[in-house]
Amino acid sequence: MVSIFKKAKCVTKLQQVIFCLSTITISFASQAQEITAENFLKKLKGHYQSTNMIDNFSINYESTGKFGPQSYDYKKATASFSRRIMDVDSKNKSYFLHNTRGGFPGGFIFETKEFQKDMQRYRYDVNGVLYGKRVLELDTKFGFQYQLDELNEVVDVFAIKSLLESEMSGDTVHTKIDKTSNRVMVVQNNIRLGKLTYQFKLKPLQLVSLHNEKNDQLFTYSHHVSINGIDYASRVGMKESHHQREFLIESLAKSMNIPAMKLTIPMGYGPIVEKEKKALKTEKITKNLYLISNVRDRYVAFKVDDMGITVFGAPGSDKQSKEIMAHINKQFPMKKITSVYITHHHSDHIGGLNYYAQQGVTILADDYSITAIKAYRKFTDNISQFQFRTFKHKELINGVRFYIPENSHAKGQSFAYFEDAQVIYEGDLLEIPFDNTIAAHMSETEKQFVEFVRMENIKIKRIIGHHRNGNISPDVMNAYYEANVGSKMAMKSMMTK
């Protein structure tokens, strides 16, 4: 009886082992289940399960690109770059962003910090170049979600979140698998973002590209890495109609709460200025010279004489040009706007020319800038309507002398000098913030401008900057130069003695 009992016990143990082995086999078979169009999303969710649960993270990435319309020579695209170091708290919809932008022709570098907390969003300037000591209160409409949307395109593991949530959002999704090419194509009709087309590798499972049809943007993902449990593509390419950028993600990591000091305006900054649209306002500078402010952060001047009205500065859009022309015509209904002057060929200085051309207004510019305008894609369909008048270096036209100094920002860049008023109108040659803060960084272009004005012995009472400051005094210009150039030259001289 004992031997029979022992035999039965052994049989039972053998059955248990067989059962366990069969269970393991079934489990492995389940895990190795072939990916099909029907189960692809489920497999994708399982693959990125740990990553999708990240609520707090920090990211450090650099983007580089080339953009012809903002280059020194429009025929040779200049490389620009930006460095973004960002902390994100998804649960509290807060973020902190340290953004450095450079590579602009002429050595301009803009460095800002920005944060959103408790439905308040602020931005301030690190070096004082753009805003001085002022703090901009920004619209939260383009805050947290806007920043997140950009990251959702740049970071592949975030880019697929919309796809993984498609069942809950009610989006339609179509999946096609091509085992021969080791590729999976997924088309998602997203309610908010429009049609999105994803391309994945099957083995290993990785996002290769994302096409956003609404914005006509194509993102490509490569150099995938796995660090601290997060799998992501460290290099990303982006292409759109006339622009392309490359992103290099140096780090992406889970984090704790954003430090309180990052979500606070530092000591020494202020006042807080609301970023709101104000009505256009006209200031009379001299008998026939006027200045329009509140063109966002820009200034447009105009001169009235017997020949008509000449506008100085055409902002970046036809909408703004239409508003400016209506504003001037309301004040001088008996006068006709005959010409508009542009300082150089960059897109944010010529973008509003189409409307002027449609109204029969002549564009006043140097030869090179006119060539660039004719080549600008935005004007291709209407370029036949454009009328031009060129000027040469130091040419005097109706009391305005036009200078085309050598500079490193834009080929052919000029400035207008109103001789009777001793006023200069310029764009991008001198960048002084509205509060006249002496910034801690001066571009090569600005140094060249100050030195040119001094060499030509141009008498100045006031400088109108197209950007930010419409009333720059000679004292501020000189103090800016001395703080960034004079002191360094003096230090260099002392070191060589």
Closest alpha carbon to 290 in 242, 328, 258, 335: 328
The mean per-residue pLDDT over the stretch 247-264 comes to 94
Two tokens, residue 70: 């903002």
Question: Which strands make up the sheet holding 362-365, listed edge to edge?
Answer: 281-284, 289-295, 298-305, 308-312, 337-341, 362-365, 387-390
Distance CA 64, CA 82 (A): 7
Residue 133 banded pLDDT, cuts 50, 70, 90: very high
How do residues 185-229 score in pLDDT, each as one tens digit? 999 998 888 899 999 999 889 999 999 998 889 999 999 998 887
Domains of the chain: 45-263 (2.50.20.10), 277-496 (3.60.15.10)
Q: Which range is least confidently modeled, 39-43, 241-245, 278-282?
A: 241-245
pLDDT of residue 171: 86
The mean per-residue pLDDT over the stretch 460-474 comes to 96
Surface-to-core class of residue 474, CB atoms within 10 Å of its CB (0-12 exposed, 13-18 middle, 19+ buried): middle
pLDDT of residue 69: 80
pLDDT of residue 113: 98
Higher-confidence residue: 235 or 41? 235
Task: Look at residue 495 and tell me whether its pLDDT is greater than 60.
Answer: no
Task: Look at residue 312 and tell me whether its pLDDT is greater than 80.
Answer: yes
pLDDT of residue 168: 79
Residue type, 491: M
The mean per-residue pLDDT over the stretch 40-64 comes to 84
Residue type, 216: D
The mean per-residue pLDDT over the stretch 458-487 comes to 94
Higher-confidence residue: 436 or 169? 436
Residue 489 banded pLDDT, cuts 50, 70, 90: low
Task: Look at residue 5 and tell me whether its pLDDT is greater than 80.
Answer: no
Q: Which of 47-61, 153-167, 470-484 has the highest mean pLDDT?
A: 470-484
C-alpha distances in Å from residue 364, one per residue of 338, 346, 370, 443: 10, 15, 9, 27
pLDDT of residue 20: 47
Distance CA 432, CA 453 (A): 16
Task: Look at residue 64 and tell me whether its pLDDT is greater than 80.
Answer: yes
Two tokens, residue 416: 């207008």
Residue 161 banded pLDDT, cuts 50, 70, 90: confident
Per the prediction, the chain carries an average pLDDT of 88
Task: Look at residue 314 and tell me whether its pLDDT is greater than 80.
Answer: yes
Residue 488 banded pLDDT, cuts 50, 70, 90: low
The share of the chain scoring above pLDDT 70, in percent, equals 90
Surface-to-core class of residue 24, CB atoms within 10 Å of its CB (0-12 exposed, 13-18 middle, 19+ buried): exposed
Distance CA 198, CA 183 (A): 10
Cis peptide before 204 (omega within 30 of 0): yes
Task: Look at residue 326 and tell me whether its pLDDT is greater than 50.
Answer: yes
Distance CA 297, CA 403 (A): 24
How do residues 331-347 score in pLDDT, each as one tens digit? 999 999 999 999 999 99
pTM score of the predicted model: 0.83
Surface-to-core class of residue 76, CB atoms within 10 Å of its CB (0-12 exposed, 13-18 middle, 19+ buried): exposed
252 conformational bin, left if phi > 0, alpha if psi -120 to 50, beta if neither: beta
The mean per-residue pLDDT over the stretch 419-435 comes to 96
Please tell me the total number of residues recorded for the chain in this structure: 497
Q: Are 156 and 207 in contact (CB under 8 A)?
A: yes
Higher-confidence residue: 98 or 65? 98
The mean per-residue pLDDT over the stretch 361-373 comes to 97
How do residues 287-311 score in pLDDT, each as one tens digit? 999 999 999 889 999 999 988 999 9
Distance CA 229, CA 466 (A): 49
pLDDT of residue 53: 62
